[in-house]
Structure 1
Amino acid sequence: MSHNSLFYSILRAYVRFWHNRIFYRSVEIKNFPKNISPTTPLLIVTNHQNTLMDALAVVLNVGSRQPYFLTRADIFKKDFVRKLLMSLKMLPVYRLRDGMDEMQQNDEIFQTCVDILSSGGTLAAFPEGNHGVQYHLRPFKKGLARIAFKAETEHDWNIGLQVLPCGLYYTHCQKMGEKLVLNFGEPFKVSDFQAAYEQNQPRTLTQITRRMADEIKNLMLHFDDLPHHDTLKWLTDTEIRKEGDLITNVRKKATELEKLRLNNTDEYTTLMEETEKKSKELAQQGIEAEIYGQPKLSFFELSLKTIGLILTSPIALYGWLNSVIPYSIPFSVTKKLKDKQFSSAIRIVLFALVTFPFVWLIQWGIVWGFTDFKTAGLYALSLPFTGYFAHRWARWWSAATQQWKLR
C-alpha cells in the first residue's frame, strides 16, 4: 500500500506556503522526532481547538510523511470541499448526529485506518472527537485506541506502531497573522501495552487513552478553571512577546495561575477580578494583552519605528490596493457562518486556491491590456511581495499605535 503521491506533495507544498508563510505570522515546530524510520507506522494524536486548521497544521508540518487524517464527516458534504479534503488524504468519520445509516460506514473507514497503519503509514486524528474554542482538553473517545490495538493484534504485535502526541497552540484561533506552535512529545509504542491488553482489554483501552490525554495536556495550553477562561487567556497572552520560548512561557504562566487557584483562593479571586477590569479598560483603548505585556520601547526606539512605518506606507498602500479584493471576498463569505470556528479554514482555502490566484490573474490581464508585456510582468511580480508587506505593515502599525497609547 503506497502512502506517497506526487500530486499530494505538490499540493501540500503550495498550501503549506500559504498556511505557514502568509496566513500565520509564524509556525513553530517543536521536537518532531527525526529518529523514527519513515516506514514505521505512526499514529499522531492532538488536541482539537480550531476545526480544519488543526488538521492542516499537522498534515503540512510532519516532514516527508503524508498522513491520513480522520475528520468529522459533515464537512465533506460540499463536492468541492470533499475533493480538496480527500486530495489531502482526509477520511470522514461519521457521528451519531449524522444518522445510524451513515454511522455504519465507520466500520469500513476504521478498517482502512488499520490497513494504513499495518502497511507502515501515518494516521492522525483528534481523540476528543469534536472541536472547542476554549484552551481546555476535553474527554477523549476510545476509537483511536481500538484502531491502534486492532492494527497490532492483526499482525501479532509485530508492526511496531507508535503513538506520537502533539499539543497545538494558537495565539488566536480565528485571526490571520497569529502564531501557531506544534509541540510534539515523546512517541510511545502500542506494543508496550500488550500484556495488559491480553489480560483486560477494556481497562487497557482506558489506560492508553488516558496516556494520550496526559501527554497532550502537558504539551498544550490548558485551563481547568473554565468560568475564568477568558481572563486566564488574557494573562497568558501578556507572555506572547516576551523573550524565550513561546509555548514554554504561556504554559509556565498558566501553571503559576493554577497553583495560585489551588493554594490561595482569595488572592486568586482578587487577581481575576482586577485582571477582568484591567483587560476591559485596555480593550476600550484598543490595546491587546500581547502588546501590554511586552517590554516597553524607549521613546527613541518607538519614534524610529513609527518613522520607518510612515516612510514605507506608500508600498503598503500599493499592496493594499492590489490585494483588497481577493483579501475581502473570503471575509465576506465567512460572515454568514453559524460556526465561526470554520472561518479561518475557509479563508485560507479561498485565499490559496481561489481569490488571490484568479483575481490577481484578472488584474494582471487588465494591466497587460493597457500597457506592454514587460510592464505587466513587473506588475505581476510586485503583487505577492507588496500584498504580503501590506498585511504585515498593518499589524506593525497597530502595534506601534498601541505602544504610543501605553506611554
Structure 2
Amino acid sequence: MRPVLALLLPVVLMIAACSGGGKDQEKAKGKGPSGPPEVGYVVMKSEAVPLVNELAGRTAAYETSEVRPQVSGVIQARLFTEGSVVRKGQTLYRIDPRLYRAAVNEAAANVANAEANRVATTAKAERFRPLAEIEAVAKQDYTDAVAAARQAAAQVQQGRAQLDTARINLRFTDVPAPITGRIGRSLFTTGALVTANQADPLAMIQRLDPIFVDIQQSSTELLQLRRALATDGVIPSTAEVRLSLEDGSDYGQVGTLQFAEAMVDATTGAVTLRARFPNPQGILLPGMYVRARFSQATAEEAILVPQAGVARDARGNATVFVIGADNKAVQRKVRATRTIGDKWLVTAGLRAGEKVITEGLANVKPGTAVRPVPAGSPPRQQPKPSGDAAKSGR
C-alpha cells in the first residue's frame, strides 16, 4: 500500500492546485463583487398637465319635435319620404279641408251680414241725433239707436274673429314640419282619421347636426375636482371633448362642454354633463353609447414619474427611490393618485430637479450606495481579460 499511496499523493496535490488556480482566475476576471450597482434615473421637472377624464355617455338629438294634428279629419295625402331631411314649414300631411273651407265661407258671410247691420244702425243713430236735440223724437229712442249701432259694430268684430279662426283651422289642414331635421317613419297612413287631441304623434323629427352627448360623472369625482381647484394649484381647463365610438374608433370631430346639471341623480349618484358635437355626416345617432375624453382641470406644476419608478408598500402608500448625497439611495413617500398615460402624477413628496431611480431597483435598498446613470444608458461593459490572463486560464 505504501508504494501506491506514494504514487497517488502527487496527483491529489496537482488537482488541488488546479482548483485553487481556477478560483483565483475567476476573481481576476471580475466575476465577484465589483463596486456599487448601476441604476438609471430620471430628472424630475414640473409642467402643466391636463387632468383627462374618460367617462361614459349617450348621444341625444339637438332638437326633437313630434308632428301632431291641430284639427280633426281624414288624412288625404302624405307629402314626405320617410327617413329624409325635411325643412321647417314644409307640408308633411294634408287633412281633408272641405269642412274647414265651408266654415271660412260661413264666417265670411256672417261678417258681411254684421257689417250691413252696422251701417244701417249707425245711419239711424246719426239721423236721430239732431231730432233728439230739438226734442222731435224721444231721447230714449235716440239712446236705443246709438246702442243698436254699437252692438252692430261689436258683432262685426266678433264675426271677423270667427273668420280668422276659421282661416287658421283651414291652414291647419296642411300639417307643417315644426323644425328642420330628419323625419322618421310615419305612424299614420293616408285615409286614417286623426283628431286634434290624440295621444300618438303622426311622425317624429330630430335635428342631428349638431348633436348632444350626455356624460355621466359621479358626484364623488366632481367633489374631488372642486377641492383640487380650491387647494392643489389646479386651474379649470378648456371645455374640449373627444369621443370614442362603440367600436373603439375615434369620432374625429371635437366637441365643447356646454354645462353641468345642478343636481345629482338620486338613483345613480351621478351628475349629467352635456357636450355639443358637430355631426355633418350623421354618424352619431340618438341613443348611441360613447366614451368621452375631456379635461376639466389642469395641474399647473405637476410632476410625472414613470410607473417603473413608483412602488407601493404594504399599506398601499406610494414610494420612490431618489439619489441623495454621496450617491446613496433614499426612499421617499409620495402622493400618487392617478396615472397620466404611462406615468404617475405625483402631487406631493417630490420637487423639480430631483433624480428618481427607475432602472435597477432590484439591487437597491434604503441607504445603498449606487452608481447613477441617466435612464436608458447602455449597460456598463465588463473589462476584457488580457492575453496572459486568458492563456493562464486555459
- TM-score, normalised with respect to structure 1: 0.17
Query: Scaled by the length of structure 2, what TM-score is found?
Result: 0.18
Structure number with greater Rg is 2
From the two aligned structures, give the one with the greater strand fraction: 2
